[in-house]
């Protein structure tokens, strides 16, 4: 019994050591927390769904929620985090709009003794590290999302295509990694070429405008890869306005799994979409509680994603948002 007790103590010390040795601020185990959630913007259904999930969690988890919306400005998001630090919140949940500009704010929170949990987007991990500077990154594998879409396009086209790529927010981890995952698959296909790649900032109308412009330079496009459904739907509108038939003479693929995206897959205009869940409320609640209890939290709490195409879009419609 004595050896077992010592063993358990050593284990607990190990976990405790791992957090404190790496300098992460601790979190008292208590029934309620003052939680800061710094949102990037509310410019599309994905972000609106994420915000709602966090606000629902505030009710079910008894948070005193401090919510901010950076209105698509990384510098405002930095100011929002600094304001949360000044308000002495217990923990900050942050979706860093871009990988680099939010790192100083993460470090300031750590210095102020406030643990940071990253959701949905990550920071540049060559500068800031999970387990040392912030507790963890909870989110999807964006490289894998890009890879899965790329592989579907290769299979569907027999490895042929003149491709336009609509990138997400410049400097954001989903845009960087979704590009890497997809482009690496395409590079291996001699019959496929990405002729243009430009940001539409994850917005539907910007996606439409960018596609309209790129169509003039590349009227021979046969496939469009959009980093999210909203830009894909904008591209579909631009293609139709130019007299093209999305799903017939141009294949469109994307990521997110929004309601409108699933409808477009079901009606044949969108070929496929990898789900990217926006529902971070419940998992943020659990991670905060587990961290406060001294549990070791992995550097990456990976969210798994479904794959939607014509064969399963209808049955998954309820998963849309
Ligand atoms: C992904 C998220 C992206 C979505 C977009 O986790 O950051 O931001 O794919 C949203 O729709 O704008």
State in Å: Cα 47 to ligand 1 middle: 7
Ligand 1 atom closest to Cα of residue 256: 9
Express each pLDDT in 266-321 by its tens digit. Answer: 999 999 999 999 999 999 999 999 999 999 999 999 999 999 999 999 999 999 99
Are the C-beta atoms of residues 6 and 61 closer than 8 Å to each other? no
Show the CA angle centred on residue 275, arms to residues 93 and 81, nearest 5°.
Answer: 15
Query: Which of 278, 128, 136 lies closest to 202 in space, CA to CA?
Result: 278
Q: Which helix (H) or strand (E) holds 226?
A: strand 223-226
Domain with CATH 3.40.50.2300 in the chain: 2-139+278-304, 142-276
| Domain range 2-139+278-304, CATH architecture | 3-Layer(aba) Sandwich (3.40)
Indicate if the pLDDT at residue 130 is higher than 50: yes
The CATH classification of domain 142-276, taken from the options 1.10.10.60, 3.40.50.2300, 3.10.20.30, 3.40.50.150: 3.40.50.2300
Nearest residue (CA) to ligand 1, atom 3: 174
CA angle, residues 86, 103, 288, in degrees to nearest 5:
65
What is the Cα–Cα distance from 225 to 229, expressed in whole angstroms? 10
Ligand 1, pocket residues at CB < 6 Å: 44, 46-47, 120-121, 139-140, 174, 202, 228, 230, 255-256, 276
User: Is pLDDT at 4 greater than 80 in this prediction?
Assistant: no
CA distance 79 to 58: 22
Contact yes or no for 102/120 (Cβ under 8 A) = no
Minimum CA distance residue for ligand 1 atom 2: 120
Ligand 1 centroid to Cα of residue 136, in Å, is: 18
pLDDT value, residue 23: 87
CA distance 67 to 84: 9
Residue 92 burial (10 A CB sphere; 0-12, 13-18, 19+): buried
CA 214 distance to own-chain centroid: 26
Whole-prediction pTM: 0.93
pLDDT exceeds 80 at position 100: yes
Q: What are phi and psi of 300, to 5 degrees?
A: -135, 115
Between β-strands 307-309 and 272-275, what pairing exists: parallel, antiparallel or unpaired? antiparallel
| Cα 321 to Cα 313: distance, rounded to the nearest angstrom | 13
Tell which atom from ligand 1 comes closest to the C-alpha of 120. 6
User: CB-hemisphere CA count at 13 Å for 271?
Assistant: 26
pLDDT of residue 106: 98
> To the nearest 5 percent, what fractions of the chain are helix, strand and coil?
45, 20, 35
Average pLDDT over residues 32-60: 98
Tell which one of 228, 230, 304 to mutate to probe ligand 1, the residue whose CB is within 8 A of the most ligand atoms: 228
Q: How many CA atoms lie within 13 A of 314 on its CB side?
A: 5
* β-bridge partners, 31: none
> CA end-to-end span of the chain, whole Å?
53
Span 219-245, pLDDT tens digits? 999 999 999 999 999 999 999 999 999
């Amino acid at each position: 019994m004595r050896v077992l007790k010592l063993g358990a103590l050593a284990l607990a010390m190990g976990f405790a050591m791992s957090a404190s040795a790496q300098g992460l601020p601790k979190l008292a185990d208590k029934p309620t927390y003052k939680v800061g959630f710094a949102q990037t913007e509310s410019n599309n259904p994905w972000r609106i769904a994420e915000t709602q999930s966090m606000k629902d969690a505030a009710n079910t988890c008894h948070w005193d929620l401090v919510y901010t919306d950076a209105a698509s400005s990384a510098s405002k998001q930095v100011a929002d985090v600094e304001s949360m630090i000044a308000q002495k919140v217990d923990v900050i949940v942050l979706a860093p709009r871009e990988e680099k500009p939010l790192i100083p704010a993460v470090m300031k929170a750590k210095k102020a003794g406030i643990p940071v949990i990253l959701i949905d987007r990550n920071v540049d991990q060559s500068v800031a590290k999970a387990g040392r500077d912030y507790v963890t990154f909870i989110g999807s594998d964006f490289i894998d999302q890009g890879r899965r879409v790329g592989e579907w396009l290769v299979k569907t086209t027999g490895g042929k295509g003149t491709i336009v790529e609509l990138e997400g927010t410049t400097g954001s981890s989903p845009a960087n990694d979704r590009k890497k995952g997809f482009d690496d698959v395409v590079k291996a296909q001699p019959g496929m070429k990405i002729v243009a790649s430009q940001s539409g900032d994850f917005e539907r109308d910007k996606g439409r405008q960018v596609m309209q412009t790129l169509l003039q330079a590349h009227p021979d496009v046969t496939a469009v890869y959009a980093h999210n459904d909203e830009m894909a739907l904008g591209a579909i509108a631009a293609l139709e306005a130019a007299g093209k038939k999305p799903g017939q003479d141009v294949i469109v693929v994307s990521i997110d799994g929004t309601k409108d995206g699933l409808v477009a897959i079901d009606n044949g205009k969108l070929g496929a979409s990898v789900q990217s869940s926006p529902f971070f409320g419940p998992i943020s609640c659990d991670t905060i509680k587990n961290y406060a209890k001294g549990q070791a939290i992995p550097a990456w709490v990976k969210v798994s994603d479904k794959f939607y195409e014509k064969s399963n879009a209808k049955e998954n419609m309820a998963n849309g948002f």
